[in-house]
Amino acid sequence: MILPHGSPQLSLYSNEPTYPICINDQVLRLLEQGAAVAIGVSGGKDSSAVAARTVAFLKEIRHCGEVILVHSDLGRVEWRDSLPTCRRLAERLGLELVVVRRTAGDMMDRWRQRWRNNVERYASLSCVRLILPWSTPTMRFCTSELKQQVIALELTRRFAGKTILSVCGIRREESANRAKTPILRLQPRLHRERSATVGYDWHPIADWSLDQVLSYLDDQGIPLHQAYSVFGASRVSCCFCILASRADLMASARCDDHRDIYRQLVSLEIESTFAFQDGCWLADIAPELLTPELRNRVPVAKANAAGREQAERAIPEHLLYSRGWPTCIPNVEEARCLAAARQQVSEAVGISIDFRNPAAIISRYAELIEKRPPHHQ
């Protein structure tokens, strides 16, 4: 049966007082009503812990709704052990593992397509500064597009007409941002009129420490992903992640499975002249894994990156676009400055561009201002 409702946050101990579930009255009501529960798993320690603990809790309260594990496969950038780890966990918990993938290609495809798109935008002066191919800490389309979006599509299709609780192993201890994580929040991606679904994100181990996670997995006899146990990484996500520490990048480079994707990523660094992380070139993590040709191109790419950055620093700030649109038309001197910067960038990166002279640049700005939507005026 469902435990009695109480304060906004209840620690439900049951048979495991060391590992309380974060829950509130609303979660209890939704579970009592038979909400479907989808637990996101990556193969990492937090998702394994939240899956096992949540399933145990649902059994304790005799939850009658559907429960699944769901894993979003990012393709070549995944640790090879991630999907097998999720499968072993699903078998242990007696649950179906639903594996979803982005139909337009994997994470590497997404970064390459983004770079091609950004080169086209720069060539047509649809942006003023050249835009990097990579995800960033403030622009994590890797998570939103390749995980959250594809998972939401599957859940709203699978659980049409139902309320969905999407479980995630986020912990408040992990960062200042995650310290604000609520127990439950609306998830707009799961609110679909067509499928008549309503959905929420639920964070059952939000208050757990790292020690609790590791201790719980050990108590339950759930083995750790090889990223931790064999290579000494501190986290599991992409094998080379834009958020990873240098130590974790080096740990990943020690895995023979990652040599090919490492070279592909470094190749895109060289082609784009953008380091994989701000201030950290992936090429410097394990240069011994690179072909001689790639190693020789790295210093040239870094020099070209410095040239690109120097050229773009000279662009007057007011000529940059706001929400994708210009706010003014440059005068002749300003347009001359921008033309020189664009020429230097095109030579440094090795891309061809339109709008090379002041007159063409002024005309392009005027054209874009004329097309600018009313709400951008």
What's residue 113's pLDDT? 97
Collapse the DSSP code of 359 into the 3-class scheme (helix H, G, I; strand E, B; otherwise coil) and give the result.
Answer: helix
The Cα-based distances of 174 to 80, 104, 212, 288 in angstroms read: 25, 32, 13, 33
Least confident of 11-15, 131-135, 173-177, 241-245: 11-15
What's residue 340's pLDDT? 98
| Of the candidates 376, 12, 81, 362, the residue with the CA atom closest to the CA atom of residue 236 | 81
Separation CA 323–CA 314 (nearest Å)? 21
Q: Residue 2 pLDDT more than 50? A: no
Amino acid in position 192: R
Query: Residue 16 — very low, low, confident or very high, per pLDDT cuts 50/70/90?
Result: low
Domain boundaries, the chain: 10-223, 228-311, 314-368
Q: Is the dihedral of CA 101, 216, 182, 175 positive or negative?
A: negative
What's residue 89's pLDDT? 98
Q: Residue 293 pLDDT more than 50? A: yes
Q: Residue 11 pLDDT more than 60? A: no
What's residue 14's pLDDT? 44
User: Tell me: the pLDDT tens digits for 186-220?
Assistant: 999 999 999 999 999 999 999 999 999 999 999 99
| Of the candidates 223, 224, 255, 225, the residue with the CA atom closest to the CA atom of residue 240 | 255
Q: Residue 3 pLDDT more than 70? A: no
User: Tell me: the pLDDT tens digits for 103-145?
Assistant: 999 999 999 999 999 999 999 999 999 999 999 988 888 888 8
Buried b (16+ CB within 10 A) or exposed e, 141-161: ebeeebbbbbbbbbbbebbee
Query: Residue 10 — very low, low, confident or very high, per pLDDT cuts 50/70/90?
Result: very low
User: Tell me: the pLDDT tens digits for 312-326?
Assistant: 999 999 999 999 999
Query: Residue 376 — very low, low, confident or very high, per pLDDT cuts 50/70/90?
Result: low
User: Tell me: the pLDDT tens digits for 342-357?
Assistant: 999 999 999 999 999 9
pTM assigned to the model: 0.91
Q: Residue 254 pLDDT more than 70? A: yes
Q: Give residue 53's Cα distance to chain centre.
A: 25
Separation CA 168–CA 159 (nearest Å)? 18
What's residue 143's pLDDT? 84
Query: Residue 8 — very low, low, confident or very high, per pLDDT cuts 50/70/90?
Result: very low
Least confident of 12-26, 249-263, 281-295, 313-327: 12-26
Q: Residue 228 pLDDT more than 70? A: yes
The 3-class secondary structure across 190-226, one letter per residue, is HCECCCCEEEEEECCCCCCCHHHHHHHHHHHCCCCCH
- Percent of the chain past pLDDT 90, that is, above it, reads 90
User: Tell me: the pLDDT tens digits for 24-70?
Assistant: 999 999 999 999 999 999 999 999 999 999 999 999 999 999 999 99
Separation CA 27–CA 9 (nearest Å)? 10
What's residue 138's pLDDT? 87
Dig out the tokens for 89 from the structure.
């966990």
In the chain, which residue ranges form alpha helices assigned H by DSSP?
Answer: 25-32, 45-60, 82-93, 107-123, 141-143, 150-158, 210-220, 226-229, 246-253, 259-272, 292-313, 332-349, 358-371
Q: Residue 4 pLDDT more than 60? A: no
What rounded mean pLDDT belongs to the chain? Answer: 93
Q: Residue 9 pLDDT more than 50? A: no
What's residue 374's pLDDT? 82
Q: What is the mean pLDDT of residues 83-94?
A: 98
Separation CA 281–CA 180 (nearest Å)? 31
Instruction: State which CATH number among 3.40.50.620, 3.40.50.300, 3.40.50.1000, 3.30.450.150 fits the domain covering 10-223.
Output: 3.40.50.620
What's residue 12's pLDDT? 44
Q: In this structure, are residues 365 and 329 in contact, taking their beta carbons and an 8 Å threshold?
A: yes
Residues 6+ apart with CB under 8 A from 161: 195, 196, 197
What's residue 18's pLDDT? 86
Q: Residue 375 pLDDT more than 80? A: no
